[in-house]
Structure 1
Amino acid sequence: MKKPTRLLNLLVLLTLAACAESPYQKIDDGIIINVEQPQDAGARRVRLQVLGDKLIHVSATPEKEFPRDSSLIIVPGLQTVPFSIEDIGDSVMLSTAKLKAVVSRSDGGIRFKDKAGKVILAEKQGGGRSFTPIEADGTKGYSVRQLFDSPADEAFYGLGQHQADEFNYKGKSEELFQYNTKVSVPFIVSNKNYGLLWDSYSLSRFGDSREYRQLNETFILYDKEGRQGGLTGTYVSPAPERPRLERKEESLYFEDIKTIRNLPENFPLKEADVTYEGTIEAQHDGTYRFILYYAGYVKVYLNDELVVPERWRTAWNPNSYKFTFDLESGKKVPLRIEWKPDGGKSYFGLRVQPPLEEEEQDSQIWWSEMNKKIDYYFVYGESMDEIIGGYRTLTGKSRIMPKWAMGFWQSRERYKTQDEILGTLKEFRDRKIPIDNIVLDWNHWPEDAWGSHEFDKSRFPDPKAMVDSIHAMHGKMMISVWPKFYATTEHYKEFDSKGWMYRQAVKDSIRDWVGPGYVGSFYDAYAPGARKLFWNQIYEHYYPLGIDAWWMDASEPNILDCTDMEYRKALSGPTALGSSTEYFNAYALMNAEAIYEGQRSVDPDKRVFLLTRSGFAGLQRYSTATWSGDIATRWEDMKAQISAGLNFAMSGIPYWTMDIGGFCVESRYVGAQLEYDRSGKENADLKEWRELNARWYQFGAFAPLYRAHGQFPYREPWHIAPEGHPAYDAILYYTDLRYRLMPYIYTLSGMTYFDDYTMMRPLVMDFGDDKKVENISDQFMFGPAFMVCPVYQYQARSREVYFPDGTNWYDFYTGQSVTGGQQLKVDAPYDRIPLYIREGAIIPIGPDIQYSDEKPAETIVLYVYRGQNGSFTLYEDEGVNYNYEKGDYSTISFNYNDTEGTLTIGERKGAFDGMLRERKFIIVPVSREDPRSFQYTDQGKQVNYDGKQQIIEL
């Protein structure tokens, strides 16, 4: 009996050994590869999981086993699809119906291929991965790095919303963290038919994994006299007690409340003139990437060339701007910086990244400070819309916003009383300026009770009556709700008793800027119980008033302005999930979940609307939009919002907006308005202010959400300029146009849910075959029809416009045709921005309305732009509830056949309560031979429609 037992044991041992040495193992949803020749700091195990025919989840770890899976951004319940595995030489290939992933057994490197075998994306030779151990708050993890090959003609879009006015991120770098005006989303879309979602919540970098370095760490510095060791810093103040100071500057790094102490002690910086000058000597040939951090006014000259024309930011909210310069090793190049601080405390810095190592220069690089493993999702698609659709499959569908949210919103910092907010809405109605939503900003509570969710009774004596009055004027109201609580409030104590408050700010007695300054902190949105409590407090105090929408300010979280990164992490942690080093970037997502899930749990038929100052991958599933934060009132800031909004859209989150006119105001504009209030005369600065706002409104009317907000001067149209002024008239024209386009715009909103559509579209999304559009960041498509070309230079009355190839275009205002594939200088008068319609477009124009649901669109004017076949499907539903998720909506298709000259109005599909059974269409064809200027009412063929198909000859 012993021999068979020994034989059996031997067979078991051999089987176990064979399993242990197996190069890979199949699992239910994919494959795990045991790397045969793991490199130092490299991966030992690589896992591929199939989440769709075009979706692959890749994980890698240096450990023997993978840590337990959990993701904050991926929706649960994703199902695998059929796939196959086969050996291919020294590799193993995983195949779906649309995609192949070939994995090297020796090093774990992956190449993604289409069905024809063409490489779409490949990890760097050897896998391109590295893991560096890190420990934070007693938790161990890894700083991770992943490199991919990237051909020279690749282009990258996405990464959230940043303010350096960059668009195509090929050859650039971006640090991914959340801050006021900066929203980081770790997702890119490539022009090579794929997207990549990087699943990390820590501080991350794309394009270059290195930190920016101090100038003296990269260059040999010389002062203005040629002496080695530093630049010359000259400080000249108008203050008579200390008018001038000169000193050596070894670096220029005064970027936070800690390093600002390195500026000259007790020197009065307000309105001072500061100059940094000398020469820099590079140690290597190549392109150097500079990042300028500034508050106040600044200019930068390199080699006697103005590389950064004057920029400005308010003292308390600095901005970053990036530029590059080619330098030669050993060659001294003059550097001169002119800085004029605009406050008693101002921030400034200039740092640099030297050229990448040669072997990394054509790489796509991702780095994160702290992960448990490498996690990324590969998304294949034959169009950028399909790629974004894959992203939303992973992270959640975009909800349809309430219809009123597509209208105009008015806000300011801030309506200080109940009478102010009601009087402002009444003024809109009296002046017949369309509006849907008015916003109550922060500090409506008693001064010492931030987080109480109570109103200051001296200023808001009857909040319920206030909200009821807004509703009676056919308006909606959004209110500012911060995740911030003063330590003296009962709400703070309720969180704190359960360990759900970040306590560092209270321990350090950090006081905010209100009155004498009050101590408080933010709640921990990573704790499920804290999220429920946050909603419950809102529900108990605000919800009974009938408030319609929620404004989640400072959701980065921004507990204290202008802090260094390490202190920011200390202030916002530790979190319920672990170290704030690991969970640094996803706070806004967790906070949005609190409101969305909370409201739907108590009022499931009312559409949620949230506006947040930050965001993260997956935000769209919580019916949440993002605005671009406390930007400045400068022409360059307006221009930067175009590229910022386009990249945010390419990050998969369709709803975005901005402070029309900018938030933080230059003092010259404040003075100009005050002078006008006294004298009634328009001086030069006020003239510019009015034109800036007119141009910004013209652009804003074609953003997904149309919203004005800012500090004084006020942004209501009549405060910007009097009736009859070209600025006032321009604002009214585009607001009226926005409302006339409501059938078109609301259809786009429906498409974001049903078709994973993107409303604000860089030209590369629709004209990717035209290589000239890959770097165009100042024109965009608004839906399938409109090409919007904002004007962002003062007194410009024309601008260059590129007309993408593959179609011809019509001037929206005149109907004149323009041939595609060329660049032209076009007119841009004060009261109009260039606006063009592509051939084949069909645009439904609705009635004259003052708010979104004033009356149904019983008559729709259909503009049909001939020259190509075209289609548009009108979407309608109840506008305020979630019945569309149950199938309660209708669609009417319009299909234009250019050869036959016919428009087919399709049979209406679907139904919902309140749907129009009959309506009238007025069809206006526009052609080269018969150009038609845009009119709200025009002569056209009238069609009475009862839901049945009709074919109309044009």
Structure 2
Amino acid sequence: MLMKFYNKAGGLFMLFAFLLTMNGWAQPIQKTAQGLKFAARQMDISVEFYSENTVRVYKTPIGKPYLKTSLSVVAVPSKVAVRYAKKGQNPVIKSSKIQVEVNVETGGVYFYDASGKELLQDKDEGTQFSPINDAGTSSFKVRNAFSLDKDEAIYGVGQIMDNKFNRRNSSHLMKNENMSTYSPYFLSIKGYAVFWDNYSISKFEDKPEELSFESLGHCADYYFMFGANTDGVISELRGLTGKAPMLPLWAYGFFQSKERYHTQGESLDVVKKYRDLKVPLDVIIQDWRYWPEYNKTDSAWNSQTFDKERFPDPKKWVDEIHSLNAKLLIVTWPGFGPKTPQRKEFDSKNMIINFDTWPPKSGARPYDVFNPKALDIYWKYLNKGIFSYIGNDGWWLDSTEPDHINVKESDFDLPTHLGSYRSVKNGFSLMHNKGIASNQRASNHDKRVVILTRSGFIGQQRFGSNTWSGDVTSSWEMLQKQVPAALNYTLMGIPNWNSDIGGFFAGRWRDNGGNKNPEFQELYVRWMQFGAFSPMMRSHGTDLPREIWNFGERGSWCFDAQEKSIKLRYKLLPYIYGTSWDVSENNGTFMRPLIMDFIADQRTHEIGTEYMFGRSILVAPVTKYQVRKSPVYLPKGSGWYNFWTNEYSVGGQTVETDAPVDIIPLYVKAGAIIPFGPDVQYSTEKKWENLDIRVYEGANGSFTLYEDENDNYNYEKGAYTTIVLKWDQKSRTLNISDRKGSYTGMLAKRNFNVELITLNANKTGAKTKNVRSVEYKGERISIKF
């Protein structure tokens, strides 16, 4: 029996019911504004469209309603024209993009594309709520199982150091720690993803018969997102959990750091020496213990103030760094020593989570990031002691899991503002980043938020955060593991990632020749080459100094190879900044696994050793010692040019590529347009008045050159320009569009030096030049070759 009720406008009321008779009993189904609700197997189940492509499924034990507030999801449901139908005895709800069928007897939820092709099954009887006592609060162990195709590849899950890309047939305790950063999420090769919206210590397990999440909580709450392809999925995910803002141009330059610079003079001298050597540098980072009492008991750990002997004039220190056209990131931790004023205030307001955090024997404890008032208190001290005082340019948020030492099981029972620590642990970094980013953004419009953080969670991308892979060891094995770990992490919609160039712990090399050990030098160079094609290029580590001159003088192979990578990074800044705009505006991705652009090529489904950097450059890092020829797989669906030689190869084959120690294998996709900037010592030293543009023939292609004021939020008000460059292969013409937009300080005119890289550019070994130079004044130009 179907009952319809209409309001005066002729639309359906938000709620009505129809009865389905099954096996002699009547099952009520409630139709909601954009979905339906029903009860099955002692559960109340809600299925609701959030967009044409995204559906939220929400389950609670019957008679135990729970109002869930998400830490990750910021979207509200958009208006979707939902159609209702039946499939046998099962209700079906449809948008223009996907269909969802529910089994009112078993609680199963089945997802299809618009044509009816099955995508995923939330299994019949696959959800269980098992009562559990969570630190004195009645809660549940919640498990939800899904059925996947036998050979269906999946990705995401987290940054996992196991050297695997496809995450099928794996299981993980999802507990964010140093070097292990999880979000309960997977992305399918079929063009959909599932985000299990839960922050507790959880289990992920994929077996041939099912994939499951198991967590602590009061509800089963997940989002099914269909994008048809990987870019589409990430666009849905960012629409749900927040877009990634633009970082300033300087954030794509070279960062120098180590554990640690002891005085303000030491770090300042490092910047001066880079300038004297004319090796490009944009950022210096100050690591821990710049605060007082560092050599006593660490009872003043993270006081967010400066030791007067070692940092006698921190404002002058930062001003001098700025006068050298460099920027400063400064570390701050979530834990506080017992003698700090922050700790005393947090203690007095019950805003400390009372377990031991780093460093050992200090008495340091982390603050309760889940309390909004605690986030504001944290910023109050950070702003007064550092940001508004010295004018630093960004933050290094260390230990954002956070570190947990002298672990006791009872520590996870400790209360937070949102429940037991166990129930929210994996959201710690998300909330810590939120507090600092949101408060800085509210207090200063002229500096974009830049955060380097050691952990992450889905949604963190909206805070200008760049996750690094943690305190990894300095080894070839660990370098290999960085690549697939990074690719899976970025497939979770978080575009900014990096690692310590050279690996953090280098003790194995310290007593074996140190920086002059040939194998360590080669490892460092290969890691730097990888860093040049990461969203942040940052040298850091302990045991051995990492500044370039410690490896030799200019003219030595190790110095020169490093300088070559750093200079290439700076030459590519117009390409990188345009990619940053693509990430921010179009929900793009910096480090693009090959499945993103070549999913039709099944060989790419298992390749986690190569990736596209932006949409045009294929990167194949060398991760083994003394390799001088490296096999590189070139995907089907494109032609490919060796970046260094311009030699052309067809896709769908593995090529043996020359990889001398100063060369990282790079290939450029046919049809690509890549702008190259001037030689500079820092990112904004020269305006882009003369840009070299390489066009790689063989297919149509385009690139958007993006420019703005480099470091403020005026771009959000329209203060930026875009110039679209399009290559038409048939007519062999580069069309440069009218410039759109404007901003203070923009160039009125510039020169484009366009070089066409042709299919036979290097067949005989001779580098043929096909160059046109034009003056551009903001009006459309066509250049025919």
Aligned twin of 1:170: 168
Aligned twin of 1:587: 428
Matched residue SS, 1:128: strand
Please give the per-residue CA displacement for 1:728-760, whole angstroms capped at 9, x wherever unaligned.
111111110100100000011111111000010
Please give the per-residue CA displacement for 1:430-454, whole angstroms capped at 9, x wherever unaligned.
1111111100001111114112111
Taking structure 1 as reference, are residues 78 and 849 closer, same or farther at Cα in structure 2, changes over 3 Å only? farther
Please give the per-residue CA displacement for 1:822-860, whole angstroms capped at 9, x wherever unaligned.
112221111111111110110000111111111110011
**TM-score normalised by L of structure 2:** 0.94
Matched residue SS, 1:792: coil
Q: Which amino acid aligns with 2:510?
A: V
Matched residue SS, 1:394: helix
Aligned twin of 1:554: 399
Aligned twin of 1:480: 331
Matched residue SS, 1:592: helix
The 5 A counterparts of 1:875-954 are 875-931=706-762, 940-954=771-785
Q: Distance in 1 between matches of 2:302 and 2:204?
A: 36
Q: Distance in 2 between matches of 1:384 and 1:785?
A: 17
Identity %: 39
State the 1:403 CA deviation: 1.1
Q: Distance in 1 between matches of 2:641 and 2:739?
A: 29
Please give the per-residue CA displacement for 1:430-483, whole angstroms capped at 9, x wherever unaligned.
111111110000111111411211111111111111100100000000000001
Aligned twin of 1:671: 511
1:723 is the counterpart of 2:554: yes
Aligned twin of 2:96: 97
Q: Distance in 1 between matches of 2:108 and 2:610?
A: 39
Contact 2:301-2:362 at 8 Å conserved across structures: no
Please give the per-residue CA displacement for 1:65-85, whole angstroms capped at 9, x wherever unaligned.
531121111005343422122
State the 1:811 CA deviation: 0.6
Taking structure 1 as reference, are residues 949 and 16 closer, same or farther at Cα in structure 2, changes over 3 Å only? closer
For the pair shown, the structure with the greater C-alpha radius of gyration is 1
Aligned twin of 1:221: none
Contact 1:91-1:103 at 8 Å conserved across structures: yes
Aligned twin of 2:351: 500
State the 1:132 CA deviation: 1.2
1:512 is the counterpart of 2:359: yes
1:814 is the counterpart of 2:661: no
Contact 2:282-2:682 at 8 Å conserved across structures: yes
The 5 A counterparts of 1:702-851 are 702-851=533-682
Contact 1:483-1:522 at 8 Å conserved across structures: yes
1:526 is the counterpart of 2:377: no
Give 1:439's match in structure 2, choosing from 274, 281, 285. Answer: 285
Contact 1:418-1:459 at 8 Å conserved across structures: yes
Give 1:424's match in structure 2, choosing from 270, 275, 290. Answer: 270
Give 1:471's match in structure 2, choosing from 322, 340, 347. Answer: 322
State the 1:884 CA deviation: 1.5
Please give the per-residue CA displacement for 1:143-162, whole angstroms capped at 9, x wherever unaligned.
11111111122111111211
Please give the per-residue CA displacement for 1:633-691, whole angstroms capped at 9, x wherever unaligned.
00000010111111111111000011000001133x101346x8xxxxx5xxx111101
Please give the per-residue CA displacement for 1:246-302, whole angstroms capped at 9, x wherever unaligned.
xxxxxxxxxxxxxxxxxxxxxxxxxxxxxxxxxxxxxxxxxxxxxxxxxxxxxxxxx
Q: Distance in 2 between matches of 1:932 and 1:535?
A: 60
State the 1:60 CA deviation: 1.3
1:545 is the counterpart of 2:390: yes
Give 1:864's match in structure 2, choosing from 683, 695, 701. Answer: 695
Q: Distance in 2 between matches of 1:802 and 1:136?
A: 50
**TM-score normalised by L of structure 1:** 0.78
Contact 2:335-2:358 at 8 Å conserved across structures: no
Matched residue SS, 1:584: helix
Contact 2:358-2:404 at 8 Å conserved across structures: no
Aligned twin of 2:7: none
Q: Distance in 2 between matches of 1:478 and 1:798?
A: 38
Matched residue SS, 1:471: helix
Contact 1:521-1:559 at 8 Å conserved across structures: no
Moved more, 642-651 or 140-149: 140-149
Aligned twin of 2:211: 364
Q: Distance in 2 between matches of 1:511 and 1:433?
A: 35
Taking structure 1 as reference, are residues 745 and 835 closer, same or farther at Cα in structure 2, changes over 3 Å only? same
Aligned twin of 2:182: 184
Paired residues, number: 760
Taking structure 1 as reference, are residues 567 and 480 closer, same or farther at Cα in structure 2, changes over 3 Å only? farther
Matched residue SS, 2:139: strand
Contact 1:673-1:713 at 8 Å conserved across structures: no
Please give the per-residue CA displacement for 1:489-509, whole angstroms capped at 9, x wherever unaligned.
11110111111011244xxxx
Q: Distance in 2 between matches of 1:189 and 1:711?
A: 36
Q: Distance in 2 between matches of 1:843 and 1:941?
A: 15
Taking structure 1 as reference, are residues 892 and 754 closer, same or farther at Cα in structure 2, changes over 3 Å only? same
Give 1:450's match in structure 2, choosing from 293, 301, 305. Answer: 301
State the 1:175 CA deviation: 2.2
Contact 1:691-1:727 at 8 Å conserved across structures: yes
Taking structure 1 as reference, are residues 791 and 711 closer, same or farther at Cα in structure 2, changes over 3 Å only? same
Q: Structure 2: 5+ residue runs without aligned partners?
A: 1-15
Taking structure 1 as reference, are residues 815 and 102 closer, same or farther at Cα in structure 2, changes over 3 Å only? same
Contact 1:779-1:789 at 8 Å conserved across structures: yes
State the 1:939 CA deviation: 6.5
Contact 1:815-1:934 at 8 Å conserved across structures: no
State the 1:928 CA deviation: 1.6
Contact 1:413-1:711 at 8 Å conserved across structures: yes
State the 1:792 CA deviation: 0.9
Aligned twin of 1:346: none
Q: Which amino acid aligns with 1:622?
A: F
Aligned twin of 2:8: none
Q: Which amino acid aligns with 1:546?
A: G
Contact 2:354-2:411 at 8 Å conserved across structures: no
Q: Which amino acid aligns with 2:185?
A: F
The 5 A counterparts of 1:201-600 are 201-208=199-206, 361-368=208-215, 370-446=216-292, 447=294, 448=298, 449-505=300-356, 512-513=359-360, 517-543=361-387, 544-560=389-405, 563=407, 566=409, 569-570=412-413, 573-600=414-441
Aligned twin of 2:10: none
Q: Structure 1: 5+ residue runs without aligned partners?
A: 1-14, 209-359, 677-681
Aligned twin of 1:141: 139
RMSD: 2.1
Please give the per-residue CA displacement for 1:187-212, whole angstroms capped at 9, x wherever unaligned.
2211011011110111112225xxxx
Aligned twin of 1:618: 459
Taking structure 1 as reference, are residues 753 and 501 closer, same or farther at Cα in structure 2, changes over 3 Å only? same
Contact 1:798-1:825 at 8 Å conserved across structures: yes
Matched residue SS, 2:569: helix
Contact 2:590-2:613 at 8 Å conserved across structures: yes
Matched residue SS, 2:779: coil
Q: Distance in 1 between matches of 2:535 and 2:192?
A: 25
Q: Distance in 2 between matches of 1:171 and 1:409?
A: 38
Q: Which amino acid aligns with 1:74?
A: V
Q: Distance in 1 between matches of 2:75 and 2:605?
A: 35
Matched residue SS, 1:143: strand
Contact 1:157-1:650 at 8 Å conserved across structures: yes
Q: Which amino acid aligns with 1:531?
A: L
Contact 1:813-1:934 at 8 Å conserved across structures: no
Contact 1:23-1:105 at 8 Å conserved across structures: no
Aligned twin of 2:6: none
Matched residue SS, 1:496: helix
Taking structure 1 as reference, are residues 46 and 934 closer, same or farther at Cα in structure 2, changes over 3 Å only? farther
Q: Distance in 1 between matches of 2:176 and 2:725?
A: 43
